[in-house]
Amino acid sequence: MSGWSLRPVYPTSPRTLSSRVVGAATFALFLGLSGEARAVDVWTEPNPGIRHLHRTTPAPAEFHALVIDLTVPGVQIRCSPPRERWKSTSAYARDANLAAAINGGFWGLFGQGAQGLAAGAGQIWSSDDEEHGFFAVSAGGRAWISPPSDVVEAGRRRVTDAVSGRPLIVDRGRMAEDLYTFPRTYSREPRTAIGVSEDGHRVIMVTVDGRRVTSQGGTLTEMSELLVELGAFRGINLDGGGSSTMFVAAEGGVVNRPSRGWEREVLNHVGVIAPAPVRAAAVTQRVEQTPAAVEQAAQQAHAQGPQRDVEAGEGTGLRGWLRARFGGLSAVERLHLGRHREVVVPAMFLAGVFAGLSVLFWLVSRVRRARARGVTPTARVSTP
| Whole-angstrom distance, CA of residue 162 vs CA of residue 123 | 10
Least Cα distance to 284 among 236, 243, 251 occurs for: 251
What are φ and ψ of residue 357, in 5° steps?
Answer: -65, -35
- The C-alpha torsion from 142 through 145 and 151 to 153, rounded to 10°, is 20
Q: pLDDT tier at 308 (50, 70, 90 boundaries)?
A: low
Q: pLDDT tier at 321 (50, 70, 90 boundaries)?
A: low
Give residue limits of the domains in the chain.
17-305, 338-373
Q: What is the pLDDT of residues 176-203, one digit of tens each?
A: 999 999 988 999 999 999 999 999 999 9
Q: What is the pLDDT of residues 90-123, one digit of tens each?
A: 999 999 999 999 999 999 877 788 999 999 999 9
| Whole-angstrom distance, CA of residue 139 vs CA of residue 141 | 5
Most confident of 74-83, 293-302, 357-366, 371-380: 74-83
Buried b (16+ CB within 10 A) or exposed e, 26-42: beebbeeeeeebbbbbb
CB 158 within 8 A of CB 142: no
Q: What is the pLDDT of residues 239-270, one digit of tens each?
A: 999 999 999 999 999 999 998 888 999 999 99
Q: What is the pLDDT of residues 120-149, one digit of tens each?
A: 999 999 999 999 999 999 999 999 999 999
Give the model's pLDDT for residue 155. 87
The set of residues, in sequence order, having a beta carbon less than 8 Å from that of 185 and lying 6+ positions away, is 179, 219, 220, 221
In the chain, which ranges are continuous DSSP H helix?
Answer: 17-31, 89-95, 220-229, 279-282, 292-304, 317-330, 341-374
Write the single-letter amino acid at 257. Answer: R
Q: Can you give the pTM of this predicted structure? A: 0.81
| Whole-angstrom distance, CA of residue 114 vs CA of residue 109 | 10
What is the separation of C-alpha 67 from the centre of its chain, rounded to a whole number of angstroms? Answer: 17
**DSSP structural state of residue 15:** S
